[in-house]
Amino acid sequence: MRDHETSHAHHHHHGVHNHAPADYGRAFAIGLALNLCYVAGEAFYGIAGHSLALLADAGHNLSDVLGLAGAWGATLLGRRLPSARYTYGLRRATVLTALGNAVLLLLVTGGIAWEAWLRFFTPEHPGGGVMIVVAAIGILVNGFTALLFMSGRKNDLNVRGAFWHMAADALVSAGTVAAGAAILLTGWNWIDPLVSLVISAVIVAGTWSLLRDAVKLSLDAVPEGIDRREVEIYLRALPGVSALHDLHIWGLSTTDAALTVHLVRQDDAGAQALLPRIAEEIAERFGIGHVTIQVETQETAGLCRLRSDHVI
């Protein structure tokens, strides 16, 4: 047996890193169609009714449409097989899309908040009745679309982003209905920009965790739901393992995780039979399906240039 053994295995993930079901393609298509129609109607009546709250929600929904389209496209790209140049395939596109969606949503929200602030000084006269009717339709459209992604919100950052955007939109539409009713009852036009600012705050609050997790994955952080310390404890407890180094865990996509590690044993006897078991158990216990292990003996470990934790 060679001094260095490498095991590489790719399994379907369990726990927090399951692949999204194949029928999400239809969910994306239905969600896009419904929201495109709604955005067009909401923008029209927002302009006709002089309602910034409706226009703000239309801009937000438009960013969601772009987000849904990007997430769908990234999911399709993620299914492409590895190539000579892209040896992991294009699964990282899902991470980049999640990051882009979060940034886009924050930019749109900033514009909405600024326009709302200006409306306090140059108020419009929004039609409360129009706001109520259009926003009520939005509750139905966004609520139904959110339900399409509800089952996958814990397993995929892209699906989670789609779900929370749609769920937040349903809540925002409910707030717009309330604003329209308040304007009809009181005649206070400043309620419209106030609701727009509240909408902006809700969007930022809901987008922040998406942005944070997308940035972490883009920087190869250990994915959420995987405890690096627990993985290390498991590896150190393996039969014959006296030490380990160069342990890395990162996300290949919003659903796939990878691990590489050097294991040090007293000798290499039985290492070949141990490697498939390690890969299978890591997939089952930690949801890490792409595992690469290098086995070293005490003698060869001292020669490994990656034995220090400070060397990458």
pLDDT: which is higher, 187 or 3: 187
Pairing of strands 241-251, 257-265: antiparallel
Residue ranges, CATH 1.20.1510.10, the chain: 20-218
d(CA 293, CA 277): 12
How does DSSP classify residue 221?
P
Q: Is a pLDDT exceeding 80 seen at residue 250?
A: yes
Q: Could you tell me where the beta strands, DSSP code E, fall in the chain?
A: 5-10, 241-251, 257-265, 290-297
User: Across residues 179-202, what is the average pLDDT?
Assistant: 81
Q: Is a pLDDT exceeding 80 seen at residue 164?
A: no
Q: Is a pLDDT exceeding 70 seen at residue 222?
A: yes
pLDDT: which is higher, 140 or 125: 140
Domain 20-218 belongs to what architecture? Up-down Bundle (1.20)
d(CA 300, CA 288): 27
As a whole number of angstroms, the longest Cα–Cα distance in the chain is: 84
Cα 194 to Cα 122, 149, 197, 202, distances in angstroms: 13, 30, 5, 13
From the list 19, 50, 7, the residue with the least C-alpha distance to 192 is: 50
Q: Which residues pair with 5 in a beta bridge?
A: 295
Q: Is a pLDDT exceeding 90 seen at residue 236?
A: yes
Q: Nearest 5°: phi and psi at 23?
A: -75, 5
Output 270-275 pairs: Cβ under 8 A, ≥24 positions apart.
270/239, 270/240, 271/1, 271/5, 271/240, 271/295, 272/1, 272/5, 274/238, 274/239, 274/240, 275/5, 275/7
User: Across residues 201-221, what is the average pLDDT?
Assistant: 86
Q: State the CATH class of domain 5-13+223-301.
A: alpha beta
pTM across the whole model:
0.70
Residue ranges, CATH 3.30.70.1350, the chain: 5-13+223-301
